[in-house]
A and B are shown apart, each in its own frame.
Chain A
Amino acid sequence: MTTTSAEPAAARPALGRRAAISAKHLRTDRWWVEPVYTVVGLSAWLIWGLVHTLLIRDYYFIEGPGYHYLTPFFSPCVNVECPPDSALLGRWAPSWVLPYAILSLPLLLLFRLTCYYYRRAYYRSYWLSPPACAVPDGHAKYTGETRFPLIMQNLHRYAFYAAVLVSIINTIDAVRSFWGTEGFGFGLGNILLVGNVVLLWAYTISCHSCRHIVGGRLKHFSRHPVRYRAWTFISRLNTRHKELAWITLGTLALVDIYILAIAAGWFSDPRFFN
């Protein structure tokens, strides 16, 4: 507890100034590893996604009696150039409109861009604000998310609503890929597509906005037992939101590269049934 001294002001040390420590930070551990990995991982994924969506080839694989896979990067395919079987929501976008999944990709990008985990990742790694804890901010001035454009991060929940719709489309894609013109059948690609969709759902519903909407906004859990149970479930998933964010980047890339590989004829898709 602080006591008040009765000595004259001149004898007291000057107050109100921080300790004059010349070093910008004194961390001795490898604090820069995480930002570097983040930049490398996110940049690689973004470049790959950009390259494949602009290449416009080998995104749809069809074999035998109508068994087909559509990569999530092109789903739903709405361009007039899309193969007719791949177009879940019709083909109406003019051929010069890119990407082919013009309905979903911008929304998915927005969902991940405004996601609370990715915000932490890119504010730290790309914007250096701060690069690591107790390491100085790379900027002289800071207003956080109080002004345009960063105040728009508050609209994350709308991106979440859109991501739910896109996840439904991805689920329909995954289910449709089990059915050819002669009935049910599946191969390795189906398993990858289903795994990807399950993990995408896990990432989507573990979102902080979803946790809030489902039950976090309530003041009295006891009056809403069902919402409380849902909130508890989502809270458990939410603790893994960061891991799910990275895992789904991985599964999206894996499924995309797998479909590209079999569509380009690098190897054939192993069929397990029909």
Chain B
Amino acid sequence: MARHTFRVWRGDANGGQLSDYEVEVNEGEVVLDVLHRLQATQTPDLAVRWNCKAGKCGSCSMEINGKPKLACMTRMSTFADGETVTVTPLRTFPVIRDLVTDVSFNFQKLREMPAFAPPPGLKPGEYRMQQVDVERSQEFRKCIECFLCQNVCHVIRDHEENKPAFSGPRLFIRAAELDMHPLDARTDRKEFAKEEQGLGYCNITKCCTEVCPEHIKITDNAIIPMKERVVDNRYDPLVWLGRKIFRRDQMPGYLGGPTQERLPVSEIVADRAGANSPYGDDITFPLPTESLTYEHTKED
């Protein structure tokens, strides 16, 4: 058993300060265990968001000695004996209280993204794809939405004014996931990434990759490939010329030829905020019972 000084930021949006606590630490414990001990012994009103304690829910994101980390995955054995451990809330997002921040910015950005769009006529249950085609997208599905990458990204961390124009690394891996998805039929994702998500703001300094607890290669496998796809679409004169002459169907903004039905180009102009409902936008809930396709089992 060792003793450590924990400097924990206490306060809310009106202000706050770092408060010192002397606390005992046992072998094998993580920072979140120590915060729970503080709650149980010295400061029962300390606000901490947590859930799974296994690095899979992404709730306990905070900054430990200035580095964005999951408290449940930061072992106390990584600190020297007697080292002061400073714990602060995520800097990029508005604080609610103590170590809890309001991360709704990320969900707002997620809602603004067009959802997965299978080819017309393909119904759920009919999706067939090869593993080799879908494995790039699967890497990005490991994301636990801890938003450490969003927090560390200097584009919004140090420049609050960029928030409206910049979606952040978590949303870039979503963009790459969908653009690389073998069954996603949308062709405007590169355009969306550039124009609406602010992909050009990223200067690939790779902090998102450094802090990702799921070790997703955010920069190398999502952001740079998306930047290259945008180059294909927007900046590469050879590709542009080749499309103009041979493949007009690949031109940005192409709305379909004689064999293809006209597809909606963007959901930005839709009459509702956010992505379309996966159930179809013409459906209102609760559904009328007569339209349900199942029956309750009857009691004997």
Contact = CB atoms under 8 A, between A and B. Distances in A.
Interface residues of B, number: 62
Contacts of B200: 144-146, 151
B201 A145 contact: yes
Interface string A35-79: 000000000000000000000000000000000000000000000
Tier of interface size on chain A: 35 or more
Interface string A130-141: 100110110001
A244 to B, nearest CB: 14
B228 interface: yes
A98 to B, nearest CB: 30
Interface in B227-263: 227-232, 234-236
A133 B65 contact: no
Contacts, number: 158
Contact of A146 (B133, B182, B198): B198
Contact of B155 (A29, A144, A150): A144
A220 B181 CA distance: 8
Contacts of B182: 219-220
A196 interface: no
A265 B97 CA distance: 72
A21 B88 contact: yes
A203 B102 CA distance: 43
A19 B95 contact: yes
Nearest to B202: A144
A19 B89 contact: yes
A119 interface: yes
Nearest to A144: B201
Interface in A135-167: 136-137, 141-146, 150-151, 154-157
B97 A13 contact: yes
Given A20-B11, A21-B9, A144-B202, A27 B95 contact: no
Contacts of B164: none
Nearest to B130: A222
A13 B12 contact: yes
Given A18-B92, A18-B94, A120 B206 contact: yes
Given A18-B94, A123-B203, A123-B205, A239 B67 contact: no
Contacts of A181: none
A150 B203 CA distance: 9
B203 A119 contact: yes
Nearest to B99: A19
A129 B94 contact: no
A28 B203 contact: no
A14 interface: yes
A27 B66 CA distance: 4
Contacts of A151: 200
A209 B66 contact: no
Contacts of A20: 11, 15-16
A119 B202 CA distance: 11
Interface string B186-204: 0000000000001011111
A25 interface: yes
Contact of B94 (A17, A144, A220, A238): A17
Nearest to A151: B200
B14 A26 contact: no
B153 to A, nearest CB: 9
Interface in B54-97: 63, 65-68, 86, 88-89, 91-97
A217 interface: yes
Contact of B224 (A19, A116, A123, A146): A116
B95 A133 contact: no
B13 A129 contact: no
7 contacts: A14-B14, A21-B18, A26-B65, A116-B204, A129-B205, A133-B152, A212-B228
Rank and list the top 7 A-B pairs by shortest CB-CB distance, nearest first.
A26-B66, A27-B66, A144-B201, A133-B207, A212-B228, A146-B200, A137-B158
Interface of A: 13-21, 25-29, 116, 119-120, 123-124, 129-130, 133-134, 136-137, 141-146, 150-151, 154-157, 208-209, 212, 216-217, 219-222, 228, 238-239
